[in-house]
Amino acid sequence: MKKLFALALSILCISFSSFSQTTIKPTIGLNITDFSKSDDGTAKGKVGYQFGGSIAFGKKFYIEPGVFYVGKSTAFTISNQTNNEFKADIKGVRVPVALGLNVLGNEKSFISVRGFGGVSGFFVTSVGDDVDKSELNSTNWGLFAGAGVDLFKFFVDMSYEWSLTDIQKDVSAINIGKSRTFYISAGLRINL
C-alpha cells in the first residue's frame, strides 16, 4: 500500500510539473491533537510540532503533496483507574496531498488567500513512555480542510484534520477513537 501511494504521488508530481507553476514550501509549525472519545475519562490536546515541506503545482487551482515529521501529544485522564493520568506522545511521518484554490490573488501576487482540502496518511515511527507502539495501527488515514495566506515570499496555513481510522488496533479495552488535529504552519514560498 505504501509503495502504491508513493508511486501515485510521484506520477501526480511529474504530470503536474510539466505544465504548471511550481512552488517549493519548506515549513515549520505547531499542532494540537484531540480524540473523538475516551471511555470513562477525558482527553486534552497538548501542543505538538511539525516540520517538513511541500511542493505546489498550479496557478489558480493547485495540487500540493508534502512530507512532514510530526510530533503529536494528548493528555488522558481515566476516571476508573488508580494511576489515572497518562500522556500519549506519538511521532511519525505525515504525507498530505491537498487540492487548493487561490481565492484572492494567485501564486505571483504580493498577498493572496487560499482554500484547500485533501487526504493524508500518518505513519507512526515512535511513541512516548506511556504508550505501547504494538497497540497502535502503524498507519492512520485522514481528511483535512484549511485556509492559507501568502504574503510576498512567506505563508501561513491553518488546517483541521479528521482521522478516518482508529489509532488503536484493539478498541475493546480502552477506545480513544479517532484523532482530530489542528495544524498551524508557516514557511517560505520559493517559486521556480
- CATH code, domain with 121: 2.40.160.20
The grid coordinates of residue 27 equal 515549513
Note the pLDDT of residue 82: 60
| Residue 178, pLDDT above cutoff 60 | yes
Task: Identify the helix (H) or strand (E) that includes residue 26.
Answer: strand 22-35
- pLDDT digit string, tens, across residues 130-153: 666 777 777 889 999 999 999 999
Total of domains in the chain: 1
User: Can you give the pTM of this predicted structure?
Assistant: 0.79
Exposed (0-12), middle (13-18) or buried (19+): which is 113, by Cβ within 10 Å? middle
Q: What pLDDT is stored for residue 153 in this prediction? A: 92
Q: Per residue in 72-120, pLDDT tens?
A: 887 776 666 666 676 777 889 999 999 999 999 876 788 999 999 999 9
Q: Which domain holds residue 12?
A: 2-191
- Cα-Cα-Cα-Cα torsion 174, 179, 170, 84, nearest 10 degrees, comes to -20
Please tell me the predicted confidence (pLDDT) of residue 160.
96
Q: Which range has the worst mean pLDDT, 45-54, 74-83, 85-94, 159-168?
A: 74-83
Please determine, for residue 173, whether its predicted confidence score (pLDDT) is greater than 60: no
- Rounded Cα distance between 38 and 136, Å, is 15
DSSP for 75-123 reads EEEETTSSS-EEEEEEEEEEEEEEEEEEEES-TTSSEEEEEEEEEEEEE
